[in-house]
Amino acid sequence: MSLIMQEERLILVDEQDNKVGIGSKMQVHQQGALHRAFSVFIFDSQGRLMLQQRASGKYHSGGLWTNACCGHPRPDESNLEAATRRLDEEMGFTCTLQEVDQILYRVDVSNGLIENEYNHTFIGLFNRIPALNPDEAEGWKWMTVSDIFDAINHSPLQFTAWFKVILAHFGQQAIEQWAEYFR
C-alpha cells in the first residue's frame, strides 16, 4: 500500500450527506464506513460513453472496466473540484462537469474492501483522446449506452461493482438522456 493511500483522508457522512467526520482511506474501505464520493460520466458528441479500464495494480478492482473516473473529495475541496482534479489525474484531461444526481450504495469490491458511498454523479463532454495515467488506467474506449448494458448482461465480471450499481439504479433510459444533453 502506498504512503499516499495511507494518508489520504475521506469525508465521512450520514445518509443525507452531512459531514460527520474524517477517516483514512484504507480504514474507511476496510470498515465499510459511509463516505462522500463522486463518479464522472464522460460522453462524446455522438452520445457514446467513455469507459476506463482500471490499472491492474490498483488496490481494488484492477483491470475492470468502469466510467471515466471516480474518487473522493478531500476535506478541503468541493465535489466538483475533486471530480475535475481526479479526471485530470486519471485520464489526463479536464472539461466542464455538471452534477446530475446522487446515489447511496454499498458494494463489496475486491481485496475485502467495501465501497459504502454517498455518490455525486457528474457528466461532461469530451471529443478527443485522453492521456491516461498508467498508474490509474490501462485502457479506455467509447461505447454506446446500449452496448454497455448488453456487455454487462453478458460479461458482468469485466465491470466494477459500483459502475453496475449506478447504471442499474438510473437505468438505460436516464443514461441515454444524459448523453442526449451533449448532442
What are the grid coordinates assigned to 15, written together?
A: 445518509
Residue 3 is assigned to a structural domain of this protein: no
Binding residues for Mg(2+): 90
Query: Does the pLDDT value for residue 19 go beyond 70?
Result: yes
> For the segment 98-111, what is each residue's pLDDT rounded down to a tens digit?
999 999 999 999 78
Residue 25 is assigned to a structural domain of this protein: yes
CA distance linking residue 24 with residue 176, whole number of Å: 36
Q: How, if at all, do strands 114-125 and 35-43 pair? A: parallel
DSSP class per residue in 23-64: EEHHHHHHHT--EEEEEEEEE-TTSPEEEEEE-TTSSSSTT-
pLDDT of residue 2: 42
Catalytic (active site) residue 69: no
Residue in this structure with the C-alpha cell 486519471, named with its chain if needed: 90
**Coil, helix or strand at residue 172:** helix
Number of folded domains that form the chain: 1
pLDDT of residue 155: 98
Binding residues: 29, 35, 72, 90, 115, 117
Binding residues for Mn(2+): 29, 35, 72, 115, 117
Q: Give the CATH number, domain containing residue 28.
A: 3.90.79.10
pLDDT of residue 113: 93
Taking a C-beta distance cutoff of 8 angstroms, is the pair 36, 15 a contact?
A: no
Catalytic member of 8, 15, 99, 117 = 117
Query: Does the pLDDT value for residue 40 go beyond 90?
Result: yes
Catalytic (active site) residue 70: yes
pLDDT category at 145 given cuts 50, 70, 90 is very high
Name the DSSP class of 133.
Answer: -
pLDDT of residue 59: 87
- Report helix angle 145-154 to 161-180, nearest 10: 160
Residue 72 is assigned to a structural domain of this protein: yes
pTM: 0.95
Residue 1 is assigned to a structural domain of this protein: no
Query: Does the pLDDT value for residue 161 go beyond 60?
Result: yes
> For the segment 57-85, what is each residue's pLDDT rounded down to a tens digit?
998 999 999 999 999 999 999 999 999 99
Long-range contacts made by residues 93-99, C-beta under 8 angstroms, separation at least 24? 93/126, 93/128, 93/130, 93/131, 95/42, 95/124, 95/125, 95/126, 96/124, 96/125, 97/40, 97/122, 97/123, 97/124, 98/122, 98/123, 98/124
Tell me which residue range forms the domain holding 142: 8-180
Residue 141 is assigned to a structural domain of this protein: yes
pLDDT of residue 120: 98
Question: Half-sphere exposure (CA, 13 Å, Cβ side) for 116?
Answer: 19
Residue 2 is assigned to a structural domain of this protein: no
pLDDT of residue 110: 78
Catalytic member of 8, 15, 69, 70 = 70
CA distance linking residue 45 with residue 179, whole number of Å: 8
Query: Does the pLDDT value for residue 5 go beyond 60?
Result: no
